[in-house]
Structure 1
Amino acid sequence: MRYVTFLYLYVMQGVPAGFALTAMANYFTGKGLSSQSVGSFVAIVGIPWVLQFFWGPIIDRYQYSVIGHRKQWIVLTQLMALIASLGLLYINNPIGELTTVSAAFFIHSIFASVQDASVDALAISIVPENERGRVNAFMRGGFLAGIALGSAGLSLVLYHYGFHAAVLSQSALLFILTTFTFFTKLDPADRYLPNFRQRTSDKTNVKENPKLGWLFRQLFSGLMKKDNFNTFIVIATVYTCNGVFIRSFSFYLIHNLKWQYNDVSVLQGGWCTIATIAITVIGGIIADKLVPTILQLRVMIGIGLFLIILGLSHNLWLFKPYSGTGLILWNLADPMFSVAAMPILMSLCIQKVEGSQFTAYMALVNLCDVVGAYLSGWMMAITPAPTIGLICGVAVLFLGVWGYVRRKRELSIKPF
């Protein structure tokens, strides 16, 4: 039941992300907006996710409520995200009102990011260490399934029926999932309905909510610990390179190779996601059996080699089957890295602030994606996407090989 719960919670997070960051971004590209405009839109939508760094301690400060442990944050933010989604109906011309569209999606992202932080905090507090790989696989799989619905599904609605129909479809799905969450026990101690007559144990839990100042001090200590900091810098660099490449690749397919924006969105959210979910679940099982760091380094080396090969073979991008296959393979590589990296980040978290620390890591990962999207928009103005992919590939490959050599030297492990 735990796996199913986290699966659908991340489906709910993936739908708006797929709609805004893939369907709408490709829609704007297809309508002729510049790479800088599209990159800025994606960055603006992603900014609230960076603020998870601040939401985490607040969520940990007020963990307990009359409906359960952390559940109040999830239900409330889901409801506010639904209202924000309905607010998009006031926009009549997305292309002519880009600033308003960006602001509306920004507001929606605020509530979605707090929801994400709440679910992340819940996950690390109730999932046993020996199940984290599998749970992360289901979380990532749910997120990808949501992205598929938001990017491929809503892109089709957007293409055939218009912006308002796509927004209504998203809002209807969010309403159904919010209702489902309200009547779901996210933690074994949760209740189906609010209970304002607290038991003694509940009152004790509320009194044990940690102080905010202490949480921030412990959080800073956990993040800045030397080993933790060095480990995260490597992971952050890979995520930034991933964000730079995929935005530039998608833009190049639509703007330079004249793909229909709808075709790119459907490919990213349709066939790509079906294959990716399967690979992600398998990867989660593997992550529980292997040393997570070894799996991470293998995936990094694979990503680096893939980007270098794809960049060097850019003349073949003209052939749609080749570039389409590259897009599908890329959508397998990025989630596999997440499956490998998330258990590592969880293992770095210290007790009592593990929810805040993991949420902070997720915020910083989101920052990497925002920075990557923004950088790609400006980099494409001075260098083509194949060169960008080549640069990213060299950087990731170097980090992967360097990390493996260093680990082999320190731990005397056998070559894989």
Structure 2
Amino acid sequence: GSNIMAPNKGTGTGYTSKSGTSMATPLMAGIVALTLEANPDMTPAEVKDTLVAGYAIEREILNDDPDAASNNCSLAETRPDNEYGYGQADPLVFVEIAGKIDSDVSVNWSLEYEMEEINGTMVPVKPKLYKNDILKGTAVTANKPTNGGGIQIKFGASEWYSAKDTSTQGNWATWELSIPTDLIVENNQTITLSARLVLENGESMSAVSSFSVVYLNENRPSSVLLEGLTDIAGGIFLPVILLSMAATGYIFTQKRRSESNVEVEEAGDDEFVWEDEGDAAGQPNLMTTMFGGMSAKALTLCSLYVAQGIPSGFISYTLIAYLAQQGFTAAEIGNMLFWVYLPWVFKFLWGPFVDNYHYLPMGRRRPWILGAQAGMVITVVIIALVPGIESKIALLTGLLFFHNCFASLQDVAVDGLAVDILSPEEFGKINGFMFGAKRFGTMVGGAGIGYFIGSLGIAGGLFLTVPMLLLIMCLPAFIRERPGEKLFPWTEGKAVVKVAEEPKLTKATKKAIEVEETNWGMGTHTVQSLGVDIGLFIALDLFLLLTIGDFAGSIWCHILTLSSGIAYFILLRNNTVGQQAFDLAPEKSDIVKALSLRAPLIGMLLAMLTYFWEFLIPVLNVLFIQQLGWSDTEYVAVTGGLAVAAGIAGTIIGGLIADKFGARRIASLFAILTGLSIFTIALAEDLWRNKTVMTWLIIIYPFFGAAMGISLISLFMNVTWPKVGATQFTMYMALLNFGALFGLKMAGYFEENFTYTTTIMIGGTCQLLIAFVLPFIDPGQTRRELGNEF
């Protein structure tokens, strides 16, 4: 101001008005001199920018205060440091604080000035601070103790508030503070935030770091209602909710038609018998060895599933949270996950190799498992050794693709081993343990390794999985499948399994399709049969567009589909899938017989829907980390730790009650609960910045989703014809994976076209549709019409 009067004295009272500079300069000059005398090491910047801002007695003037207008302070600010208001400096406070400043430690804000157009020019302006915001920053302690101290924050002239240490090492490298609920600041007021790092018992501290903001006494409006995005009102989804609930009510009124604990077995092209000449003495093996109260086979199978879960948890939680922290979009993350997990869609292709090619002296499955695990370890080591792999996303994606090729191979081999060595009464119990073990591995790779990701990075985090995988690899490496077999190719032993002299037909018999070389007729077709065949190629075309379309172009995808269609009709000209389905072919294969029924066909649709909602995974990562300010470590601790633990509980509980009350009923019930729990996240938009509430919501839906998933798997077993059990059930598992990958591929579309709230509600709707479809599936139809024969 240019005409400043003494306190409580107006014009005409005999007091002389002075300019602000004239009145303030003598006082501040003396304070600076005393401050530097107390601590000569302080720089001019520390004196000006930290002490004056942090310890002056400041009383702010509101933008709409009459005093602001009379002092010409109501004009729009054009500079970040354009301050106005009353202030007073206490020399004694300055001298006392200056003597405690330790120049080795420091504290910084994560706040940034915002760019705003004023009079046609983009200028930096103070950021807005809302009452539900979370303040964040960094600090350097120089390894000095902070017991009884830590980061303290002051809002203008308020008291000092203690912040929370969010660093993984407990050294205040990162910190945060929610706006105190008892903070009294008028709305739309400019205040100065001050932060300091207090060392042990307050003996010394950092210089104060200050930042000027405009405080708004209201909740921050959703930053996810971006311009140009579609925002659908929640009421639009109400009919889907009501219809799905009605469908579930209908299912519960129907008599249970079949049990869920139907055994589905695999078999290769040969029937195997065991020799009884093996001596178990002194040879740990999967058939007879016990470790305490647990059999070697249970321990080995569960440990191998843990080995699958550890890298999967790292990828699904830690890696994508890290990428979101680095600013990657949901589309980029979803596309990466699509390619990384693509091998799981085609894992059924490993089956013929695992079933038909063996080195029997070492066991039927053990060489495949050891080879697959070696491949998993090698790919992880390669990733960890590539310099700067975090920035080479294409290379990282390719290496993780090959890693999952080996992981999916191990999965097929381990499942085959389980069928070989488990008795029928063990299958259900140990299968449950295996699924739980895989989720435990997911938790280790997610929350466990995620804890160290901030200090170790992607390469270091992945390298932590190597000793875990090697330790688990010791079990199949040093425990034989059966006593008497070789431990390694160069050790003594022999095959104790051989091909039967009169091999029986495999249980999943597929009849050869006879093609008459001299008959080039296309056979009889109907609109329905052509519809089935053309539908197959529409699906193929869609798949090619999703996979190679990004780099090969849509034209080449269409050409490849057309070429495949021509070859298909030429080679199977009188025996296509469509002709077989409608009894127009000379003979019908067993798998087509099964899929010609309504229940198995609807099972395919359910499998596609089950995990399609996973397009929310990259979307939620971007929302919570980039928009809501969660750190990647915080988010992984919830999604890869607590949420996975909830999923383990859901798997166990869901499996138990599905066996008791029926898989279709429980799947329908939990589909609704999963959908509604996802809807709740969308409807709680005003609470998105409340970490306690959102943590609970993030934990709840995986519990319901896991219970629904295990119930649907039981249902798929029910609608599977035992004669083609391996083929049909593996197809359902592949469609589960493809549905998830298709969803991940669509993440970018939803991110670019819908608000986060609408996208989340669409994800919930996908789960509700499962409940809507379930009344149309008859779990007992397959065995009732085709029988129980193997």
How many residues matched?
406
CA distance change for structure 1 residues 246 and 219 in 2, over 3 Å: closer, same or farther?
A: farther
Which residue is equivalent to 1:296? 667
Question: Aligned-pair distance for 1:136?
Answer: 4.1
Q: Deviations over 1:67-120 (max 9, x none)?
A: 334333222211111111111123222332111111111111110111112223
Cα 1:239–1:222 shift into 2, 3 Å: farther
**Alignment partners' CA distance in 2, 1:387 and 1:224:** 36
What displacement does 1:172 show? 1.0
Percent identity, aligned pairs only, is: 24
Partner Cα distance (2:320, 2:358) in 1? 36
- Counterpart Cα distance in 1 of 2:501 and 2:417: 15
Give, in whole Å, the separation in 1 of the partners of 2:670 and 2:428. Answer: 15
Partner-residue secondary structure (3-state), 2:752: coil
Once the two structures are overlaid, the 10-residue window that deviates more, 69-78 or 291-300, is 69-78
Between 269-278 and 47-56, report the one with greater CA deviation.
269-278
RMSD value, Cα: 3.2
* Superposition deviation, residue 32 in structure 1: 1.1
1:249 is matched by which residue type in structure 2? L
Output the amino acid matched with 2:610: V
Query: Is the counterpart of residue 204 in structure 1 residue 576 in structure 2?
Result: no
Q: Deviations over 1:331-360 (max 9, x none)?
A: 212221222122222334444653444333
2:714 to 326, 330, 343: 343
The structure whose residues are more often strand, as a share, is: 2
- Partner of residue 603, structure 2: 231
Q: Give the Cα–Cα distance (whole angstroms) in 1 for the partners of residues 600 and 704 of structure 2.
A: 24
Q: Give the letter aligned to residue 113 of structure 1.
A: S
Equivalent residues in 2 for 1:8-47 (5 A)? 8-47=303-342
What does residue 380 of structure 2 align with?
A: 85
Q: Does the C-alpha gap of structure 1 residues 399 and 279 become closer, same or farther in structure 2, counting only changes over 3 Å?
A: closer
Over 3 Å counting, the alpha-carbon distance change for 1:17 and 1:245 in structure 2 is same
What does 1:125-274 correspond to in 2, within 5 Å?
134-184=429-479, 191=485, 193=487, 197-199=494-496, 202-204=498-500, 214=510, 220-221=591-592, 224-226=595-597, 227-241=599-613, 243-274=614-645
Q: Distance in 2 between matches of 1:268 and 1:215?
A: 46
Equivalent residue in structure 2 for 1:399, among 770, 778, 788: 770
The counterpart of 1:276, out of the listed 632, 639, 647, is 647
Provide closer, same or farther for how the CA distance between residues 343 and 72 of structure 1 changes in structure 2, counting only shifts above 3 A: farther
User: Rg: which structure is higher?
Assistant: 2
Would the aligned equivalents of 2:347 and 2:409 in 1 still touch at CA under 8 Å?
Answer: yes
* Contact 1:125 1:355 (8 Å CA) reproduced: no
Aligned to 2:761: 390
Change over 3 Å in CA distance of 1:132–1:286 after alignment to 2: farther
Secondary structure of residue in 1 paired with 2:391: coil
Does 260-269 or 273-282 show the bigger shift? 273-282
Q: Distance in 2 between matches of 1:166 and 1:215?
A: 49
Rate the CA distance shift 1:77–1:221 in 2: closer, same or farther, 3 A: farther
Q: Decide whether the 8 Å contact of 1:63 with 1:209 is kept in 2.
A: no
Structure 2 residue 689 is matched with structure 1 residue 318: yes
> In structure 2, how many angstroms separate the alpha carbons of the residues matched to 1:235 and 1:73?
28
Query: Residues 130, 297 of structure 1: CA spacing in aligned structure 2 closer, same or farther, 3 A cutoff?
Result: farther
1:248/1:380 contact within 8 Å kept: yes
- Residue pair 1:296, 1:337 contacting (<8 A) in 2 also: yes
Q: What TM-score do you get using the length of structure 2 for normalisation?
A: 0.47
Assess, with a 3 A threshold, how the Cα gap between structure 1 residues 222 and 381 changes in structure 2: closer, same or farther: farther
Unpaired runs of at least 5, structure 1: 411-416
Determine which structure has greater relative contact order: mean sequence separation of CA pairs < 8 Å that are 6+ residues apart, divided by chain length.
1
Secondary structure of 2:611 counterpart: helix
State the distance in 2 between where 1:386 and 1:335 align. 23
Rounded to whole Å, the distance in 2 between the matches of 1:20 and 1:263 is: 16
Instruction: Return structure 1 stretches of 4+ with deviation > 6 angstroms.
Output: 128-131, 205-209, 215-219, 405-408
CA distance in 2, matches of 1:234, 1:407: 13
Q: TM-score, normalised by structure 1?
A: 0.86
Matching residue's letter, 2:357:
Y
Gapped regions of structure 2 (runs ≥ 5)? 1-294, 514-588, 782-790
- Supply the distance in 1 between the matched residues of 2:396 and 2:776 (Cα, whole angstroms): 47
- TM superposition shift of 1:223: 6.7
Q: Which protein is richer in helix relative to its size?
A: 1
Does the 8 A contact of 1:23 with 1:152 survive in 2?
A: yes
Selected match of 2:360 from 65, 83, 89: 65
- The range that moved more, 254-263 or 217-226, is 217-226
